[in-house]
Amino acid sequence: MYILGAIRQSVEHNSTGGMELVSHDLYKGLVAVGFEVEVLTSALKNQDVSEMNIDGVKYIFIKNAPSGTYSNELHEGIKSYLQSLMKINKKPLIIHSASAAAASVIKNAYKIPVIATWHGTNIEQELDRMMSYVYVERKTLLPSHCENLLRNICNNKRLHSDFQGFDGHVAISSFMKECIINYGVAEKDVTIINNALPEVFFQESPELNSFQKSKDKVLLGLVGRPIAMKGYEFFNKVLQRLDPEKYELMVVSGHKDALEYFKNSKIKTHFLSVERSQMPSVYALMDVYINPTFRYSGFDLTVQEALISGTVVLNSDIRPYQNYYNELQNELGERSPFFVFKVGDIDSCLSAINRIYVNKVKNHQVSYFTKKFKFQYMIEEYIKFFHDVNRRING
């Protein structure tokens, strides 16, 4: 069976993020189980390359489509390539769109279902701007900000039409599903599929000999880029009120800027930069992974990585994570190792950390998360959804 994919930039482009990596994981996973996969994308910058095979996935770079962006050239190139396929009777089972890359071929004349995976929408982008305004710039949110959000989303008929034109949608979280439905998409057309984790999290990890953990203290952990919206500055204020006899902090980041946030911390702080293959061992050392984010966009893979590594997770209650907390409470109840605190609230965060400490909470649900985040599980869920949508469209 043949699947045609579309993405604005590929893992071969110089500047890529989570969407490109997860999309490539999906495509190579489909190849591994017997699908033929071709993916249309924008041209490579300063390279005259038309095709490239990466992990069995054939990437086709559309000539004259500006690198890494949505453009008329990209959309016209995708439409033209589909027409050329139909001339040789090579009909895809599904056209898979990473976000809106395949918008030009929705409701095509060939009854080929077009399914989009959304790692973000305009709604979260607008909400992130508001969160930055309040928690980073420390300004007061005005009624006009909410009015602008509603006007930009509700009155954009073209955006609503594009969303409703797709035959199916994959959301990476329940909150993302809510966002998609807000564009007028029927709930039955949206399925939630968690991003899978790389194989390194399902294998025995190399020992971390460079770090000696204290036996008498709870080790808190932060992972990732030290950007303002990650909440590092906020968490530094939390640290100033924690007991240095009870807690230590590990900051895992390849960015030197992380040092600046915690250089005056009362809590003993360790700074690490390790290879990806060692991250499971790093998480396993942490007693509590903290994600004090202010961002609505996406769903931090670090949360999944910590949970599958046997670490307790404490997250700000931004809607995507509050939803996840509720889901785990429904499925695991008191056995859930995932907790939330009120976003931007120092006292709430302190109370949550101390409750975990006093109650000696541990993560005993690794087998549950192993099933949920396994690569093969994600591929199986996608294939099932592809076939369900195809049957609905073509009978």
Whether 210 shows a pLDDT value over 80: the answer reads: no
Residue 339: predicted pLDDT: 98
Residue 21: predicted pLDDT: 84
Residue 238, both tokens: 């939390």
Can you list the alpha helix ranges (DSSP code H) found in 155-300? Answer: 157-165, 174-181, 232-239, 257-262, 279-285
Asked if 95 and 6 touch (Cβ cutoff 8 Å), the reply is: yes
User: Could you tell me the pLDDT band of residue 126, with boundaries at 50, 70 and 90?
Assistant: confident
Q: Lowest-pLDDT range, 36-50, 132-146, 356-370?
A: 132-146
Share of the chain above pLDDT 90, in %: 70
DSSP bridge pairs for 219: 248
- CA–CA gap between residue 7 and residue 98 (Å, rounded): 5
Residue 176: predicted pLDDT: 93
DSSP string, 129-183: HHHIIIIIS-----HHHHHHHHHHHHT-HHHHHHHHHSSEEEESSHHHHHHHHTT
Whether 155 shows a pLDDT value over 80: the answer reads: no
Residue 261: predicted pLDDT: 82
Place of tokens 């690569």: 375
Whether 344 shows a pLDDT value over 70: the answer reads: yes
Whether 83 shows a pLDDT value over 90: the answer reads: yes
Residue 47: predicted pLDDT: 82
- CA–CA gap between residue 180 and residue 151 (Å, rounded): 16
Residue with the larger pLDDT of the pair 359 and 15: 359
> Could you give the 3-state DSSP secondary structure of residue 314?
strand
Question: pTM for this one?
Answer: 0.87
Residue 182 is which amino acid?
Answer: N
257-304 pLDDT, tens digit each:
777 788 788 899 999 888 888 899 999 999 999 999 999 988 898 999
Q: Lowest-pLDDT range, 122-131, 148-157, 357-366?
A: 148-157
Residue 17: predicted pLDDT: 65
DSSP H or E stretch at residue 16: none
User: Could you tell me the pLDDT band of residue 317, with boundaries at 50, 70 and 90?
Assistant: very high
Residue with the larger pLDDT of the pair 68 and 316: 316
Asked if 40 and 5 touch (Cβ cutoff 8 Å), the reply is: yes
Mean pLDDT of the chain: 91
Whether 254 shows a pLDDT value over 80: the answer reads: no
365-381 pLDDT, tens digit each:
999 999 999 999 999 99
Place of tokens 């007028």: 184
Residue 395: predicted pLDDT: 77
Of the ranges 47-51, 98-102, 266-270, which is most confident?
98-102
Residue 15: predicted pLDDT: 63
Residue 40: predicted pLDDT: 98
- Give the number of C-alpha atoms closer than 13 A to the C-alpha of residue 360, restricted to the C-beta side: 1
User: Could you tell me the pLDDT band of residue 16, with boundaries at 50, 70 and 90?
Assistant: low
173-182 pLDDT, tens digit each:
999 999 999 8
